[in-house]
Amino acid sequence: MARSIYLAGPEVFLPDAAAIGAEKRRICAQYGFTGLFPLDNGLDPQPGKSLSAAIFTANMKMLAGADFILANLTPFRGISADVGTVVELGAAYAMGKPVFGYSNVRGTLVERVAALPAFLPLSDGADGRRYAADGLAVEDFGLVDNLMIAEALHCSGTGILVPDDDVVDKERDLGTFERCVRAIAAA
């Protein structure tokens, strides 16, 4: 049976989510994998149970059955990845599944913070850390996102892959996604 990859990411929030999911599955199949896209899980809402609980349960069940997770970590409405995707990434790591991921936005977390006027000026704290204007330290490890995300991936042998050049449609570009699928095939 083909090994399967859980396709985590904020695509579920796009109006054309189903089409993107189909395209991601097609690319997975090209490399011999079954892609599991969250929208495809059969929702079976129990009486007295909310739709959100049914989605959570279905996603976690689909994830538990996958061999790998491939997370789209493109920043979502802010400086970091979509938190729903990140819950799944943490769960997959704890389940012992190899964690792969990409972001369609190049650059590091600290560069994104430093580009937002609301967080400026950055200053040096007495503890040797850099602080943003909100009074909170900025992680400065040269990583694409928070270290707990990036290092969960490093345990699988890769970091967060990013495109070589800026992409036109960061919500839909699948070039770096395909590089991840190739990395999984080579793993």
Binding site for its own copies (CB under 8 A): 10, 12-15, 50-53, 55-57, 59-60, 76-84, 86-95, 113, 119, 125-127, 131-132, 134-139, 141, 143, 145-152, 154, 171
At closest approach, how far in Å is the CB of 102 from its own copies?
16
Please tell me whether residue 163 adopts helix, strand or coil conformation. coil
**CA distances (Å), origin 56, targets 42, 43, 48, 85:** 12, 10, 15, 12
Q: How many angstroms separate the CA atoms of 112 and 135, rounded?
A: 17
Angle between helices 147-154 and 83-94 (to 10 degrees): 40
At closest approach, how far in Å is the CB of 168 from its own copies?
14
Q: Which residues of 9-31 are buried (b: 16+ CB within 10 A; e: fewer)?
A: bbbbeeeebeebbebbbebbeeb
At closest approach, how far in Å is the CB of 133 from its own copies?
11
Residue closer to its own copies by CB (options 17, 183) is 17
At closest approach, how far in Å is the CB of 118 from its own copies?
9
Residue closer to its own copies by CB (options 65, 141) is 141
Q: How many angstroms separate the CA atoms of 76 and 43, rounded?
A: 25
How many residues can be counted in the chain? 187
Residue closer to its own copies by CB (options 164, 169) is 169
Residue closer to its own copies by CB (options 94, 186) is 94
Residue closer to its own copies by CB (options 92, 162) is 92
At closest approach, how far in Å is the CB of 121 from its own copies?
15
Burial of 91 (0-12, 13-18, 19+ CB in 10 A): middle
Residue closer to its own copies by CB (options 42, 123) is 123
At closest approach, how far in Å is the CB of 29 from its own copies?
26
